[in-house]
Structure 1
Amino acid sequence: MEGTRIRRRPPGFPGLAGRPKSHSRLPLTAIGLAAALVLTACASGKATTGATSQPAAGASSAAANTAGSGGGKVSLFVIGGKSDDPFWSAVKRGADDAAKVVKANGGNVTWLGPQNYDNLGPDAAKLILSAKSQGATAIVGADWVPEAQNEAFKAASSGGVPVFLFNAGGAEQAKNVGALTYTGSEEQLAGKAGGEFFAKNGAKNVLCVNTLPGAVNTEARCKGVAEGMSGGGGKSTQLPLPSSNFGNPTAVTQAIKSALLKDDSIDGVVTISTGDADSSAAAIEQAGAGAKIKLGTFDMNEAQLNRIKAGKQLFCIDQQPYLQGYLAVSQAYAYNAYGLLVAQNTLLTGPAIINAANVDAAISGVQAGVR
């Protein structure tokens, strides 16, 4: 969720602070593999029954048997966030662009999302089972709350439906549910990078505002921030707010303002979403603490980047949501239709620290609706 999260531990993951422009890009090898999938998919509208790639460790044999099965119509289902969630609109933009290839070759892609985030795990589990019952030939999904969702994912993968995790869950949960790959960010590492950046810029006590407590990716984010701050000689505590407050700027602003007025040693605030960052900016201003408190957020939009450019926000942590949707759907289609599977069973799309040194390079992507 905003959204990435969260798995494998490759050396030199992209996007740490101090690497101005190239850090926001996926390694060229991964981009080349993804491009190869899409180009191959464009080359023919007919599925092949030729040799298939080996499934990732932990993938169910039932799901693996559907690779490149040929003959049947490809029907992909994507379990993502709310349609009016700005972060998920960028993920969906990527999924929609990849879906053009699927549709051009006679298949279809269906996006399913919850009405709200009040009961996220159980609601997402129902969507997974709904996708399976509707004849999904592959399911792309975010594993936000494993204890609520994993049985549904396992029902799909063990029942012959390939599963591709993205955004949340990571390599660990991908293995647990029999998914073939995970595409997204390493949320704890992303949080650690943010905590280290706070510490490097003088913060000693950072408040991590979590409006989706209990979700595996948001919990990992706050945990990572605390780890990064600890390594820099500071500390971070979590402010968990009811998930019903997600998307309620007034409630979030008042809760953050109250926390700031209660503890005047707080000199940094980080949020798990851009909407919450806007609420934090308002809370900091209302508390009269703009000169003291540094603001950071996971994910980004034009408002965040403009604040960074104006010197009113320290950083954003980008997980490149467009790539999550685009690469995950591309992989699911290429596997379904042709038995193709990338060699890396985890594709990292982040993290990348966006700050005053590189903010200009990120603005055009946000304006295009892909970052």
Structure 2
Amino acid sequence: MERTQIGRPLGGRRLSRRALAAVSVLAAAAAALTGCSSGKATGDTAKATASEGGSTSAAKSGKNAIYVIGGKPDDPFWSAIKRGGEDAGKLVKAGGGSVTFLGPKTYDNLGPDAAKLTLTALSQNPSAIVVPDWVPENQDDAIKQAVKKGVPVFVYNAGGVEAAERTGSLKYIGSDDYEAGKAGGVKFAEEGAKNILCVNTVPGAANSEARCKGIKDGAKSKGAKSKQLPLPSSNFGNPSAVTQAIKGALLKDDTIDALVTIGVQDADSSAAAIEQAKAGDKVTLGTFDLSQSQLDRIKNGKQLFAIDQQPYLQGFYAVSIANQYLSYGVIPPQNPLLTGPLLVTKDNVDEAIAGTKAGVR
């Protein structure tokens, strides 16, 4: 388990007044952000939670203890989320509070592990908990336990507004994985793909299943088709195993003309598999999320797209909104509060590369 507490500003230096002012402006902007809304406003929900013993009145001192459940510490996608949470955490720290990050060591037992991490956070008397709802059948009970005890919970990154409403959480902050998948499926089909393979190395997780379903439905809307290649979650982070599995799928079915992966590590493996299968002239590659290697391939014409859910914003907004709610009782009415999807193609790849070099994309 990764357990990192923000006890001081990054680099060990004290924040200047100018820096604190900048963080305050960013946090205020996060609280005021308006996203595309497909759900109900949550003002009444927020008031009800506060009246049932929530933390808004208890946190008037400003010493908010916010616990954030995230992914593996060596997962590059989660590094961007954590960077956003840490930047928002500077304002929490300035008020005497703290932000603590908890993450699993592996994704082999994701749902049960995430539920245990939520209960661990709950045992620490938190002011608020921020958590993805990856596997609802494992996690919902733990989230509901926190809500029942009056702890404000914010679902982010996975689960969507349905998870927030189902568990009694205040808000969902993140991308809509299904809509992101649809955008990718449409893009593939518009570029001529007919048979798309969605590689899923975390089968059963709500967000990865939604992504592959979106790809399938988006492709179908344009006359193409898609199927899923579910791989054992133990393969996640094992490039050799993923590469060989994808290579085998390509050699077995020569009608596959597009590949999409649920994350950047698998996209690198897919690129290697396409090369080893000598299918580079007919198989187009796309992925969810960003990394420098994906952007380089897009820029060089070797990858069609990357679907950016803007993880930095997820971490930043989730921590900022939790802190603003705890400190002042204010909360944006939009639910969900969307951070994506944004399709990165050759047309906007240069801007994405600049963001990746800054460590926020």
Q: What TM-score results when the alignment is normalised by the length of structure 1? A: 0.85
1:82 paired with 2:95, answer no
Deviation at 1:65, TM superposition (A): 3.3
Q: Which residue of 1 aligns with 2:14?
A: none
Residue 142 of structure 1: aligned partner: 132
Residue 153 (1) aligns with residue 158 (2): no
Cα contact 2:50–2:57 (8 A) shared by 1: no
Aligned partner of 2:43 in structure 1 is 54
Relative contact order higher in (CA < 8 Å, ≥ 6 apart): 1
2:227 aligned to 237, 243, 258, which one? 237
SS in 1 for 2:43: coil
- State the Cα deviation string for residues 83-135 of structure 1 (Å, max 9, x = none): 11000000000000000000011000000000110000000000000101011
> Is 2:182 the partner of 1:199?
no
**What is the alpha-carbon root mean square deviation over aligned residues?**
1.8
Of 349, 354, 361, the residue aligned with 1:364 is 354
For 1:139 and 1:277, the matched residues in 2 are separated by 31
- Aligned-residue identity in percent: 62
CA offsets per residue over residues 146-178 of structure 1, 9 Å max, x none?
Answer: 110000000001111000010001100100111
For residues 328-343 of structure 1, what are the structure 2 equivalents within 5 Å? 328-343=318-333
Matched with 1:301 is 291
**What is the rounded CA distance, in whole Å, between the counterparts of 2:166 and 2:249 in structure 1?**
38
The answer to whether the 8 A contact 2:176-2:338 is kept is yes
Contact 1:55 1:341 in 2 (8 A): no
Aligned counterpart in structure 1 of residue 28 of structure 2, from 31, 35, 52: 35
- Determine if contact 1:144/1:216 at 8 Å carries over to the other structure: yes
Q: Which amino acid letter does the alignment assign opposite residue 192 of structure 2?
A: G
Structure 1 counterpart of 2:250, which letter? L
Deviations 1:234-293 (A, max 9, x none): 100000000000000000000000000000000000000000000000000000000100
Gaps of 5+ in 2: 1-24, 33-41
Separation (CA, whole Å) in 2 of partners of 1:320 and 1:368: 13
Q: Which runs of 5+ in 1 are unaligned?
A: 1-31, 40-52
Match of 1:132 in 2: 122
Which string of whole-angstrom CA distances, capped at 9 and with x for unpartnered residues, describes residues 197-222 of structure 1? Answer: 00000000000000000000000000
SS of residue matched to 2:285: strand
Deviation at 1:67, TM superposition (A): 1.8
Contact 1:211 1:240 in 2 (8 A): yes
- 2:179 corresponding residue in structure 1: 189
1:46 is matched with none
Conservation of the 8 A alpha-carbon contact between 1:38 and 1:101? no
Question: 2 CA distance for matches of 1:150 and 1:275?
Answer: 28
**Alignment length, in residue pairs?**
327
Q: Does 1:165 align with 2:155?
A: yes
The residue that corresponds to 1:351 in the other structure is 341
Question: 1:192 is matched by which residue type in structure 2?
Answer: K
Alpha-carbon shift at residue 357 of structure 1 (Å): 1.1
Deviation of 1:68 (Å): 3.9
> Distance between the aligned counterparts of 1:58 and 1:242, measured in 2?
43
Shift of the 124–107 alpha-carbon distance from structure 1 to 2, 3 Å rule, reads same
Question: Mean alpha-carbon deviation: is it higher for 332-341 or for 208-217?
Answer: 332-341
- Tell me if structure 2 keeps the 8 A contact 1:33–1:342: no
For 2:19, the equivalent position in structure 1 comes to none
User: CA 1:297–1:64 in 2, change beyond 3 Å: closer, same or farther?
Assistant: farther
Following the alignment from structure 2 to structure 1, what is the Cα–Cα distance between the partners of residues 235 and 125? Answer: 35
CA contact (8 A) 1:208 1:269 kept: yes
Distance 1:37 1:228, change over 3 A: closer
> Is the CA contact (8 Å cut-off) linking 1:212 and 1:243 kept in structure 2?
yes
Residue in 2 that maps onto 1:271: 261
Q: Please name the residue that 1:19 is paired with.
A: none
State the Cα distance separating 1:71 from its structure 2 match: 3.7
Taking structure 2 as the reference length, what is the TM-score of the superposition? 0.87
Amino acid at match of 2:255: S
